[in-house]
Structure 1
Amino acid sequence: MRLANLRQGAAVVAGDAAYLLPVPLAELIPLGLARALEIGAEAKRGKALRYDEADLLLPYKPPSVRDFVTFESHVEGVRRSVDNASGVPDAWYDAPTFYFTNPHALYGPGAAIPRPVTCRALDFELEVGVVLGAGGSSLTEAEAEKAIFGYTIVNDWSARDLQSREMQVGLGPAKGKDFATSIGPWIVTADELPSLDLECRVSVNGTHIGGDRLSHMHWTFPQMIAYASRDSVVLPGDLLASGTTGGGGCLAELWGRSGSRTPPPLEPGDVVRMDVEGIGTLSGSVA
């Protein structure tokens, strides 16, 4: 099922029809996938409503957002651009590394993103996020797989000039990342995607920039979830993002490979469109 948050309310969407749910997605997700599918099936027996893209809102507000870095080619390209380094660190192969980003600066489909005041190297990042329907501590990979509720598209907007400067401190990204993350257009439940060999593409103002297949992730989502929960805790609704795809899933990767900012950084008015096979399309503009 595709579960969306519309202006009319939380709904199951199928084509251009929507069926309203009795509870918001933030309350539906913690019930787990099996119960959510039952509630969704019951909702689809009700009256169908028409909706369009303008009705789509932020699907839900996750308790936390972890952003991983699971595509090897992305690491190699971006390190050249942001850190002035080459290659992939040996430590990257040890575990599925992540950082926490701001769960309070989330934007839904079609939303305009404010560029940070001093940023002149604004970038996008094409990612897929997994939504948890169950939580726990030190989960096994099998338990982590059972905790998966569904998937959505994630755009981790990045201020590369801010990020490059602050990464010299060695603590990790902060103001280069915490201003905006877009998710949507909806959540596709895990039963709809038995295979994650999905084509991912991104364009700016209608011009194709790059893309990759999600199956090129070095780490699986269950591995990521299990690692996140190790000696810690994950909760229902937590969002864990794959990290940026290779193949030009962000501008910084291309800048690192070419040695110049080509294509150029995003400017006000630019529209970024992300398409992921089996999930849908997430668009956003620069305010």
Structure 2
Amino acid sequence: MKWVTYEAGAGERTGILDGETVRGLAPGTTLAGLLAAGALVEAGDDARRAPTEVLGTDDVRLLAPLPRPVSIRDGLCFLDHLRGCHRALGRDESLHPAWSENPGFYFANADAIVGPYDDVPVAPGSTMFDLELEVAAVVGTGGRDLDPRRAEEHIVGYTFYNDWTARDHQLRDMAQGIGMGKSKDSAITLGPALVTVDELEPFRRDGRLAFEVSASVGDRELTRGSLATMDWTFGELLAYVSRGADLTPGAVVGSGTVPGGCLLEHVDTPDLAAFTGWLQPGDVVSLRGEGLGETRQTVRPARPVIPLRDGA
């Protein structure tokens, strides 16, 4: 099934995509609530047999399938992405041994979720605004200290994840040395749908999802890659993030960026300030993938920066 959250003039609603229609459930039903109650399969049957409303996709505004997830973690499971970023920054492309010991991840901002067709303003004060092509797994069954061989059984489905990033803010975050801060908190796209694992089973090869995804800015395709090239699998990532910590239904866990899936990796000079290809107001950014659909968003101007202190 392809689960969506949508708006058609009467507040947020939840339903399933069925071709060119949305089959909606009763007002007050949310995807997060269905996941928490373990009631997704039954609700999907209800939506197919006896929906509360049936609307054309042109008559609804699709929101993020989980507009307010209980938590978000973003992994880094494609190590070639990290090597590409090091190369762009003029650094040694060899990686610290820690990257082969466990997948890296950080906690992201669950209040920054935007829908698959929402406009996205540049982060305030940024002149180096970037996209990141990712896929997120959504937890359906909670757990703790998961076995990496079985952890994927806790995933209910997948959705696109665009981790919009202010690279200039990121350089400052890295200088402070306490993790991702203002570089990562302005927007995260989820959508257009939460695609359940059974829908994507035809793409499974040797224990991995082997479907292609791509990112474009305007008419230019930035990259195309496959989830089959993940250095760390979703099962390994979920096992690691659940080590000594609870994963709850509705938690979102990002894959990290598909190699080449951000503008930073396409910088062709060590002088980052000389790169002129950062996102600009009016740019249209799209993520596409077999089974997952497409996001399409327009970049808008940043809001003015309010100084923290006089003269600063």
Q: TM-score, normalised by structure 1?
A: 0.93
Is structure 2 residue 263 aligned with structure 1 residue 251? yes
Q: Tell me the CA shift for residue 115 of structure 1.
A: 1.2
Is structure 2 residue 110 aligned with structure 1 residue 110? no
Q: Is the 8 A contact 2:88 2:269 kept in 1?
A: no
Aligned to 1:58: 64
Is structure 2 residue 233 aligned with structure 1 residue 220? yes
Q: Tell me the CA shift for residue 282 of structure 1.
A: 1.3
Give CA deviations for 1:55-99 in whole Å, capped at 9, x if unaligned: 101211211110111112101011233584432222111101100
Is structure 2 residue 172 aligned with structure 1 residue 170? no
CA distance in 1, matches of 2:156, 2:230: 19
Percentage of identical aligned residues: 37
SS in 1 for 2:42: helix
SS in 1 for 2:246: coil
Aligned to 1:205: 218
Q: One-letter code of the match for 2:112?
A: A
Q: Is the 8 A contact 1:82 1:160 kept in 2?
A: no
Q: Tell me the CA shift for residue 52 of structure 1.
A: 2.2
The residue correspondences of 1:57-206 to structure 2 (distance < 5 A) are 57-60=63-66, 61-82=68-89, 84-194=91-201, 195=204, 196-206=209-219
Give CA deviations for 1:14-72 in whole Å, capped at 9, x if unaligned: 1111111242111112233xx41232122112353212286101211211110111112
Q: Tell me the CA shift for residue 170 of structure 1.
A: 2.3
SS in 2 for 1:174: coil
* Runs of 5+ consecutive residues of structure 1 not aligned to the other structure: none
CA distance in 2, matches of 1:175, 1:131: 24
Decide whether aligned partners of structure 1 residues 172 and 46 sit closer, same or farther in structure 2, where only a CA change above 3 A counts: same
Q: Tell me the CA shift for residue 142 of structure 1.
A: 4.2
Q: Is the 8 A contact 1:116 1:179 kept in 2?
A: yes
Q: One-letter code of the match for 2:227?
A: L
Q: Tell me the CA shift for residue 285 of structure 1.
A: 1.8
Aligned to 1:286: 299
Give CA deviations for 1:192-235 in whole Å, capped at 9, x if unaligned: 11221010111111211112111111111111111111011111
SS in 2 for 1:145: helix
**Greater shift after overlay, 139-148 or 218-227?**
139-148
Decide whether aligned partners of structure 1 residues 82 and 25 sit closer, same or farther in structure 2, where only a CA change above 3 A counts: farther
CA distance in 1, matches of 2:60, 2:298: 14
SS in 2 for 1:172: coil
Q: One-letter code of the match for 2:261?
A: G
CA distance in 2, matches of 1:284, 1:54: 16
CA distance in 1, matches of 2:168, 2:60: 32
Number of residues paired by the alignment? 283
CA distance in 1, matches of 2:285, 2:172: 25
Aligned to 2:37: 31
CA distance in 2, matches of 1:70, 1:155: 15
**Greater shift after overlay, 47-56 or 14-23?**
47-56
SS in 1 for 2:285: strand
- CA-based RMSD of the aligned residues comes to 1.8
CA distance in 2, matches of 1:176, 1:262: 18
